């Protein structure tokens, strides 16, 4: 391991020196300089952007033939071929204005610009498709910097979780085409509700840290911007199919009209995904479609997207108890002795496989949910310097999860006791469904201005959400006074969210860019009704947040750049934070000040980034280690905490046949003064209290590393091996090594070969082998601690991932 770390660090700083340079100027057809145009050498990591005069320079090139590629939003890509034998200057690159406004304008306002002083990574559709065999987006983003992921079923299909810098998805802002994707109440993103969305994605940008202002919940560790498919000028059709371990398969068909009459286009995708899961009975049946149509003119874009997903997954939310993983017979028996499990449940645990055990056995213990997104987007260029974008969104979600519950108290369901002769029946086996029925509306807008060395964006959003939470008893052995689909609880959540932001950038001396970003956000949230425990959870909250951000970026030369930023973010607690809080501990809003300092260099066939960060939290909501009845973490405020570290990124190309992407994150994640509260079963309703001082933040590994080496030994063939290393991470905030996920290293192999034919445009053959060394590891866990008889005990659940497994696929392009 030490040798691996040393090799990675040395590789990140390797440099080659070359002598020649290319100088030029980028302008439009009217002779006006294009500022911030991207100019790059094809098949290399050489690249730069034009300065305030439209000029560029690429240095340290060796003799040879080069293809220069110039791009600018709203203009057609231009290719310039040249042979370099000495320094070349005076190249004039003229870009023609595109006849069709492209989708980049829809996300421009919320993304990091060329000179934005933030740590960001963009993954395009070509890179995403290499590993897309039906797994969720967290699996596909796993190799990006500071990212870890977990899958409940152990396969990457079904319920999955994503962490960035140790921050879970409820603190990561996610948008599609600039429209908030996070659930307004939970702040979560349920990737399983949008199966195979990545097949309709053009690219994904991840900003680590606070990042730039966006729409929706606060970015408390990162933000993820998803841009769906861009205009495809030519008609196409694609058929694909994959099959692999655990009876996992994916089928997809996608068609597109190309441009009709130079302006109109239509695209459609249908996907079906299934997996039996690595964990017992943890099957997933997923269906989705994506429909997009619109008009694209020289200065106008109108587009309608419909994204629909349906999931039916067997629940695997509880994980595997540590005592089952370790074959601890006494520990398993203790579950029964302490009345955590019945005798029947304990025997089931003992007799199950130690890594695939699932506590649920009822054949219809499922989660069943449907979600539809309707997005209407409009963008217009208002002259050479101004553009405006507007998007309207409606999201409809409805579904339930079903559970078999044994020997439940009828009073807990508002069902009266049943008197039969001299006997009174007060409990019953039953089947219940817990429903969520919600509606989300959003209006998103931005006005963009760019002139010479100044750019500005004014944008924002207004969203409104209404969710109905209720539960039905659909069967009961003893039903008493209950009717069919007896409802025992009902509550609603009503939330409005308004934000407005202004982003401003000014370039001094063609090298120094000054950035300011100011955001004001207002939230009103009301809960009315009783929860599943029949308690009244009615409450009302109002929040006003001001989130300023400032930064500088400086171009040392055409190859090197450095940046610094400081940004503030404020975040309101989620629905579960409010309703699951212990009595007298109502959570408060948390705040963050994020400091980022970075250095970028593009040299020869290498691209390197070094980023330092310090994230200073006040009242951060951190995992208690406990989960609620749907597997979500229960959180608590802690006064002072921080995350600090360094992120190293490199991409290297050797001899045109090897491409190596590598990243390493080293961090410290600390709570300055933590107090642990543990339920005292000897004195019911009370807790023991232990002051621990400084501790590690849960689920925050100090080391995260990723590597992907791709080989191209001959035309149309690619062989890639990727490796992910994640260090130890605690599953609660006590820094106790008995409650910890062990470090793991997992390697996967991907092979792809493309065949060109006369009848079919191309045929892609793919093979993916995951966990090639059959590593036994767990990626997530929860723990509930209790005190009894003078001793402390744990009830917990760990989430094992699959051993060696494969997926093979074929894609036909027409």
35, pLDDT greater than 60:
yes
The answer to whether residues 702 and 669 touch, using CB atoms and an 8 Å cutoff, is yes
Q: In what order do the strands lie in the sheet with 201-208?
A: 119-124, 201-208, 222-228, 172-176, 179-180
| pLDDT the model gives residue 626 | 60
| pLDDT the model gives residue 112 | 85
Residue 99, phi then psi, degrees to nearest 5: -80, -10
249, pLDDT greater than 90:
yes
Model confidence at 210, pLDDT cuts 50, 70, 90, reads very high
| pLDDT the model gives residue 580 | 82
For residues 167-172, give the mean pLDDT: 94
Choice between 298 and 99, residue whose per-residue pLDDT is larger: 298
| pLDDT the model gives residue 625 | 56
DSSP state of 260: B
10, pLDDT greater than 50:
no
Choice between 232 and 165, residue whose per-residue pLDDT is larger: 165
392, pLDDT greater than 90:
yes
SS3 call for 146: coil
Task: Report the percent of the chain where pLDDT is more than 70.
Answer: 96
What confidence tens digit (pLDDT) does each residue in 544-573 have? 999 999 999 999 988 899 999 999 999 999
Q: How large is the C-alpha radius of gyration of the chain?
A: 27
How much is the mean pLDDT over the chain? Answer: 91
What confidence tens digit (pLDDT) does each residue in 511-524 have? 899 999 999 999 99
Of 506-510, 663-667, 670-674, where does mean pLDDT reach its minimum? 506-510
- For residue 725, give the nearest of 768, 681, 666, 676 by alpha carbon: 666
Q: Compute the CA torsion angle 376, 290, 136, 636 (nearest 10 deg).
A: 30
Domains of the chain, each with CATH number or no CATH: 1-97 (2.60.40.1120), 236-320+355-813 (2.40.170.20), 321-354 (no CATH)
610, pLDDT greater than 60:
yes
Per residue in 685-697, is it b (16+ CB within 10 Å) or e — as a string? eeeeeeeeeebbb
DSSP state of 280: T
For residues 750-760, give the mean pLDDT: 94
Which range among 33-42, 85-94, 792-801 has the greatest average pLDDT?
792-801
CA triple 43-49-50, angle to 5 deg: 130
Cα-based distances in Å from 342 to 240, 315, 319: 47, 20, 17
What confidence tens digit (pLDDT) does each residue in 437-449 have? 999 999 999 999 9
The answer to whether residues 391 and 375 touch, using CB atoms and an 8 Å cutoff, is yes
Model confidence at 408, pLDDT cuts 50, 70, 90, reads very high
Per residue in 281-306, is it b (16+ CB within 10 Å) or e — as a string? bbbbbbbbbbebebbbeeeebbbebe
Of 31-40, 296-305, 536-545, where does mean pLDDT reach its minimum? 31-40
583, pLDDT greater than 80:
no
11, pLDDT greater than 60:
no
What confidence tens digit (pLDDT) does each residue in 377-390 have? 999 988 878 999 99
The answer to whether residues 267 and 292 touch, using CB atoms and an 8 Å cutoff, is yes
**Cα–Cα distance for residue pair 140/652, rounded to 1 Å:** 21
Q: With DSSP H G I counted as helix, E B as strand and the rest as coil, what are the percentages for the chain, rounded to 5?
A: 10, 60, 30
15, pLDDT greater than 60:
no
| pLDDT the model gives residue 62 | 77
77, pLDDT greater than 90:
no
For residues 76-99, give the mean pLDDT: 79
**Cα–Cα distance for residue pair 204/220, rounded to 1 Å:** 18
Choice between 230 and 409, residue whose per-residue pLDDT is larger: 409
41, pLDDT greater than 70:
yes
| pLDDT the model gives residue 416 | 93
For residues 54-73, give the mean pLDDT: 82
What is the longest distance spanned by two Cα atoms in the chain? 104
Pairing of strands 740-741, 729-730: antiparallel
The answer to whether residues 417 and 393 touch, using CB atoms and an 8 Å cutoff, is no
- For residue 270, give the nearest of 255, 249, 292, 288 by alpha carbon: 288
């Amino acid at each position: 391991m030490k040798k691996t770390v040393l090799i990675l660090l040395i590789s990140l700083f390797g440099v080659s020196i070359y002598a020649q340079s290319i100088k030029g100027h980028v302008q439009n057809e009217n002779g006006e300089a294009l500022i911030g145009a991207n100019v790059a050498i094809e098949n290399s990591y050489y690249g730069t952007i034009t300065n305030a005069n439209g000029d560029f320079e690429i240095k340290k090139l060796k003799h040879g033939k080069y293809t220069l590629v110039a791009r600018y939003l709203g203009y057609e890509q231009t290719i310039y071929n040249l042979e370099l034998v000495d320094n070349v200057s005076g190249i004039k690159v003229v870009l023609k204005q595109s006849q069709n406004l492209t989708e980049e304008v829809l996300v421009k306002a919320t993304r990091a610009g060329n000179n934005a002083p933030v740590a960001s990574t963009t993954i395009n559709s070509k890179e995403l498709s290499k590993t897309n065999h039906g797994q969720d987006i967290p699996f596909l983003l796993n190799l990006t910097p500071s990212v870890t992921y977990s899958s409940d079923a152990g396969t990457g299909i079904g319920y999955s979780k994503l962490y960035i810098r140790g921050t879970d998805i409820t603190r990561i802002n996610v948008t599609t085409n600039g429209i908030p994707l996070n659930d307004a109440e939970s702040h979560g993103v349920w990737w399983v509700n949008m199966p195979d969305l990545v097949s309709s994605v053009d690219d994904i940008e991840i900003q680590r840290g606070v990042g730039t202002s966006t729409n929706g919940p606060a970015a408390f560790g990162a933000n993820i911007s998803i841009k769906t498919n861009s205009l495809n000028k030519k008609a196409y059709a694609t058929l694909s199919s994959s099959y692999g371990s655990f009876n996992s398969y994916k089928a997809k068909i996608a068609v597109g009209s190309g441009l009709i009459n130079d302006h109109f286009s239509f695209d459609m995708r249908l996907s079906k995904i299934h997996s039996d899961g690595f964990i017992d009975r943890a099957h997933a049946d997923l269906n989705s479609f994506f429909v997009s149509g619109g008009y694209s003119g020289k200065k106008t874009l109108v587009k309608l997207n419909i994204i629909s997903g349906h999931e039916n997954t067997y629940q695997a939310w509880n994980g595997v108890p540590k005592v089952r993983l370790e074959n601890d017979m006494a520990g398993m028996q203790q579950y029964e002795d302490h009345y955590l499990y019945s005798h029947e449940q304990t025997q089931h645990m003992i007799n199950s496989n130690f890594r695939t055990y699932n506590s649920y056995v009822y054949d219809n213990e499922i989660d069943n949910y449907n979600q539809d997104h309707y997005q209407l987007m409009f963008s217009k260029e208002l002259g050479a310097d101004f553009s405006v974008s507007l998007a309207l969104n409606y999201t409809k979600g409805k579904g339930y999860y079903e559970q078999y519950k044994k020997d439940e108290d009828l009073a807990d369901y508002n069902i009266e006791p049943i008197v039969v002769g001299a006997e009174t029946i007060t409990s019953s086996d039953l089947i219940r469904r817990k429903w969520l029925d919600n509606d989300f509306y959003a209006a998103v807008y931005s006005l963009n201005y760019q002139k010479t060395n100044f750019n500005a964006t004014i944008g924002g959003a207004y969203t409104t959400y209404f969710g109905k939470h209720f539960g039905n008893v659909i069967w009961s052995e003893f039903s008493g006074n209950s009717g069919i689909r007896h409802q025992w609880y009902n509550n609603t959540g009503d939330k409005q969210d308004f934000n407005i932001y202004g982003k401003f950038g000014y370039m001094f001396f063609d090298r120094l860019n000054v950035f300011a970003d100011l955001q004001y956000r207002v939230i009103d949230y009301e809960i009315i009704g009783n929860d599943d425990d029949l308690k009244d959870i009615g409450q009302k909250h109002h929040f006003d947040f001001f989130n300023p951000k400032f930064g500088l970026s400086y171009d040392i030369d055409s190859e090197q750049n450095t940046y610094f930023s400081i940004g503030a973010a404020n975040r309101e607690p989620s629905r579960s934070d409010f309703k699951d809080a212990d009595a007298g501990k109502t959570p408060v809003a948390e705040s963050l000040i994020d400091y980022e300092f970075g250095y970028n260099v593009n040299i020869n066939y290498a691209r390197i980034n070094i980023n330092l960060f310090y994230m200073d939290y006040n009242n951060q909501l951190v995992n208690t280690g406990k989960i609620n009845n749907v597997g979500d973490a229960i959180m608590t405020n802690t006064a002072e905490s921080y995350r600090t570290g360094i992120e190293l990124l490199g991409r290297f190309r050797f001899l045109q046949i090897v491409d190596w992407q590598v990243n390493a994150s080293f961090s410290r994640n600390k709570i300055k003064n933590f107090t642990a509260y543990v339920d005292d079963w000897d004195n019911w309703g009370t807790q023991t209290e232990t002051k621990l001082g400084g501790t590690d933040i849960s689920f925050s590994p100090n080391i995260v590393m990723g590597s992907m080496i791709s080989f191209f030994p001959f035309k149309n063939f690619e062989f890639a091996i990727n490796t992910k290393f994640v260090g130890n991470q605690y599953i609660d905030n006590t820094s106790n090594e008995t409650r910890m996920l062990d470090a793991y290293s997992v390697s996967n192999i991907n092979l792809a070969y493309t065949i060109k034919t006369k009848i079919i445009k191309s045929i892609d053959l793919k093979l993916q082998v995951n966990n090639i060394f059959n590593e036994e590891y767990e990626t997530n866990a929860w723990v509930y601690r209790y005190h009894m008889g003078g001793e402390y005990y744990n009830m917990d659940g760990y989430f094992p991932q699959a051993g060696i497994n494969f997926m093979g696929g074929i894609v036909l392009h027409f």
